[in-house]
Chains A and B, each alone.
Chain A
């Protein structure tokens, strides 16, 4: 257990905080400002719901990894070490697996994540507009131990990174 993260963790708690305002500023990871309740303006429901027309229905319906990639991108991915896939060795729980994808490849137009052993391998897909960073972090569900494949479309070509994530149930007998 490296010492630094403990220090960071403990520093957050030992901070002599006289008035513990509800909007606690002591965000756990240093980078974040408010952890408490969101400093959110009133929520207006006027904004129109997003258009589901663009939702890649067929790609999400595919039952194999290869088909999902073919339907979504129409081309084969090429493994690249410029695609960084951050996923755990052993998922603490298959229901909530933190997975992050980032890349240094130029003009990225889409990032997707496929879990090959899931009943429907395509898990999530993110079109990346200009001005948006080629980085996304999300939490996925995994049915069982499987390869997780990060796909990045850059300059019209498809690149990928793959990592196996082990998933088993936890806990005692029952």
Chain B
């Protein structure tokens, strides 16, 4: 199954600009379905980015983060071709991860 994570890491000198998009409903628990019942909260709580064994970025998310969440940040110390590991876990314990390459 294709990964739920899309990542784009572009090295620009010593700084790597990272963008990620995750396929996830991010249900807030306040929305009703067609039958009028509340769709239970279902959202990513923690998303982590690691490079060379070190966590370079952590996102703590709640129900107010948009569906198919997007994040952009930048960090120093990565070179083109190196790995960047992304992983997330949601409030139901589901998880996914992906190893991307810095371009």
Contacts and interface: CB of A to CB of B under 8 A. Distances in A.
Direct contact of A and B (CB under 8 A): yes
Interface of A: 31-34, 38-52, 54-56, 60, 95-97, 100, 115, 118-120, 122-129, 131-133, 135-143
19 contacts: A32-B19, A33-B8, A38-B8, A41-B99, A41-B100, A43-B3, A47-B97, A49-B88, A49-B89, A52-B45, A60-B60, A115-B64, A119-B30, A122-B64, A127-B60, A136-B72, A137-B73, A138-B72, A140-B66
Contact of A43 (B50, B61, B98): B98
A129 B56 contact: yes
Contacts of B57: 126, 128-129, 132
B71 A137 contact: yes
Contacts of B103: 33-34, 39
Given A97-B66, A129-B57, A138-B65, 10 more contacts: A41-B100, A96-B67, A100-B72, A122-B64, A124-B59, A124-B62, A131-B77, A136-B71, A138-B69, A139-B70
Interface of B: 3, 5-8, 10, 15, 17, 19, 26, 28, 30, 45-48, 50, 54-67, 69-77, 83, 85, 87-89, 95-101, 103
Most buried by A among B26, B66, B67, B69: B66
A104 to B, nearest CB: 15
Contacts of B28: 119, 141
Contact of B61 (A33, A44, A118, A124): A124
Q: DSSP class of B's interface residues: helix, strand, loop or mixed?
A: strand
B60 A126 contact: yes
A55 B63 CA distance: 13
Question: What are the nearest 9 A-B pairs in CB distance?
Answer: A49-B95, A123-B64, A139-B66, A137-B72, A50-B48, A47-B97, A43-B3, A132-B75, A50-B46
